[in-house]
Amino acid sequence: MHTDTLRSLAAKRGLLIGTAFCSGAFKHHPEYGDLIAREFNCLVAENDMKLDVLQPVRGQFDFSRPDVMMSFARKHDMKVRAVPLVWHIALPAWAEGKTFSRNEALDILREHIFTVMQYYRGQVIAWDVVNEALSDKEPGLRKEGPWYNSIGTDYVEQAYHMAHEADPQAVLFYNDYNMDCMNDKAGRCYMWIKELLARGVPIHGIGLQCHFQLEWPPAKAALSDNIKRFNDLGLIVHMTELDVWLAKDASADHLLQQAEVYCDIFQAALSAKDCPAILLWGLADCHSWIPGQTGGKYDHALIFDRQYRPKPAYAAIAALLRGDR
Ligand code: G3I
């Protein structure tokens, strides 16, 4: 009978293993915090660091929700990733659907980035400065949201320069989805980031979100090759929002297959040159965004079930980290 936890096993392999933290779940379920503190050594706010939460009224900042997570992380000696400073979603009413003058929008981003980064200065290991800016289908940025509509295509690099100015020591990431393996979007992201780096834009890391479905599991080699090419640009890679979705009526066998997929992903991180953090997008299936997002079609995406019991993926990841598989 093994008594190791994922966090102790991960630490021995030099890996951060994290989860998305939900302050509401923490408040209402005592077992939630206990399990997180036992099994994880890294946190990210699922929603509490987004613009709608931090700046519900323009110019008035409210850090009360993320501060719950930050003090929990301090108490339990955990690292924190901070996300996201600039996104086209999770906007407060004063920004949703709005277009500002270019200068006004730049001022808004500047005030937000400086205020948030200086408030949490020295307390986080990485900042996702811009989240999900790339178009899913065509070359270039997605043409939506107040920042693109008001500032134009250079809003991304403006944001990185501001973040670097706000805290020159901060480690700055670009984070996106559906670009975990060697697909078209990943290729476009790679070329774009390479170009931004060549122009001196301060980007230090890439967040691969890693939302996967069991029907379309990642090919381990394609995940490794993608990590490698970003590492070869001198960038750190984090897996930032990992989950593996099953059909709603998944069987015991599907849970075993899910465990294999989780292991492949952890293996890709462990064998990479520089992929030192894997964060799951939630603790237990009862808190996952997946059923809500998919109209109930998918579920069971995490490594703990609705009663906070470990699923086969938990044991498989532990065995992998222990060196037993
Ligand atoms: O907290 C409010 C509550 O007060 C209100 O009554 C209720 C009514 O709709 O909404 C609650 O807020 C919801 C929030 O989740 C907390 O549950 C928002 O409507 C809902 O939009 C929000 O969804 C989040 C989504 O991002 C948009 O911000 C998901 O929880 C979160 O898992 C998801 O996370 C994103 C990452 O940030 C970026 N990558 C993709 C990932 C999945 O979409």
Mean pLDDT, residues 158-174 taken together = 98
pLDDT digits (tens, 9 = 90+) for 126-141: 999 999 999 999 999 9
Nearest CA to ligand 1 atom 24: 47
Within 10 angstroms of residue 34's Cβ, the number of other Cβ atoms is 11
Q: pLDDT tens digits for 239-290?
A: 999 999 999 999 999 999 999 999 999 999 999 999 999 999 999 999 999 9
Q: What is the mean pLDDT of the chain?
A: 97
Q: How far is the CA of 221 from the centre of ligand 1 (A)?
A: 32
Task: Name the pTM for this structure.
Answer: 0.97
| Residue of the CA atom closest to atom 21 of ligand 1 | 90
Question: Please, which pLDDT band fits residue 231 given cuts at 50, 70 and 90?
Answer: very high
Position 146 scores a pLDDT of 98
Percent of the chain with pLDDT over 90: 98
Q: Is residue 64 part of a domain?
A: yes
Q: Whose CA is closest to 181, among 99, 113, 237?
A: 237
- Segment 26-75, tens digit of pLDDT: 999 999 999 999 999 999 999 999 999 999 999 999 999 999 999 999 99
Given this model, what pLDDT does residue 3 score? 83
Residue % of the chain over a pLDDT of 70: 100
Contact 244, 215 (CB under 8 A): no
Please identify, by atom number, the ligand 1 atom nearest to the C-alpha of residue 209: 39
Which ranges of the chain does DSSP label H, i.e. alpha helix? 6-12, 23-28, 30-39, 51-54, 64-75, 102-119, 146-151, 155-166, 184-198, 220-232, 252-271, 290-293, 312-322
- Centroid of ligand 1 to alpha carbon of 291 (angstroms): 12
On whether residue 128 sits in a domain, the answer given is: yes
305 found inside a domain = no
Does residue 41 fall inside a structural domain? yes
pLDDT digits over 74-104, tens only?
999 999 999 999 999 999 999 999 999 999 9
Range of the domain at 106: 15-247+260-284
**What ligand 1 atom has the least distance to the C-alpha of 177?**
39
| Probe target for ligand 1 pocket from 22, 27, 47, with the most ligand atoms within 8 Å of CB | 47
CA of 282 to the centre of ligand 1 (A): 12
The residue among 173, 7, 158, 162 whose CA lies nearest residue 78 is 7
Query: Is residue 315 included in any domain, yes or no?
Result: no
Beta bridge partners of residue 244, listed in sequence order: 212
User: Domain containing 79 — which CATH number?
Assistant: 3.20.20.80
322 located within any domain: no
For residue 304, tell me if it sits in a domain. Answer: no
Expressed in angstroms and rounded, the spacing between residue 197 Cα and the centre of ligand 1 is: 32
Q: Is the pLDDT of residue 1 over 90?
A: no
Cα 46 to ligand 1 centroid, rounded to whole Å: 8
Atom index in ligand 1 nearest the CA of residue 50 equals: 28
Residue 2: what pLDDT? 77
Segment 225-244 shows an average pLDDT of 98
| Best residue among 26, 44, 46 to mutate for probing ligand 1, ranked by most atoms within 8 Å of CB | 46
Q: Which two tokens stand for residue 85?
A: 């400073």
**What CA–CA distance (Å, rounded) separates 305 from 114?**
39
Closest Cα to atom 42 of ligand 1: 289
Question: Which atom of ligand 1 is least distant from the CA of 84?
Answer: 37
Tell me which of 238, 289, 294 to substitute to probe ligand 1's pocket, judged by most ligand atoms within 8 Å of the beta carbon. Answer: 289
Distance 145 CA to ligand 1 centre (A): 17
Pocket of ligand 1 (CB under 6 A): 46-47, 50, 89-90, 131, 177, 209, 241, 289
Structural domains in the chain (count): 1
**Catalytic amino acids?**
132, 241
**129 neighbors 163 (Cβ within 8 angstroms):** yes
- Which atom, in ligand 1's list, is nearest to the CA of 131? 38
Task: Return the residue matching tokens 């070329």.
Answer: 191
Q: Does residue 294 form part of some domain? A: no
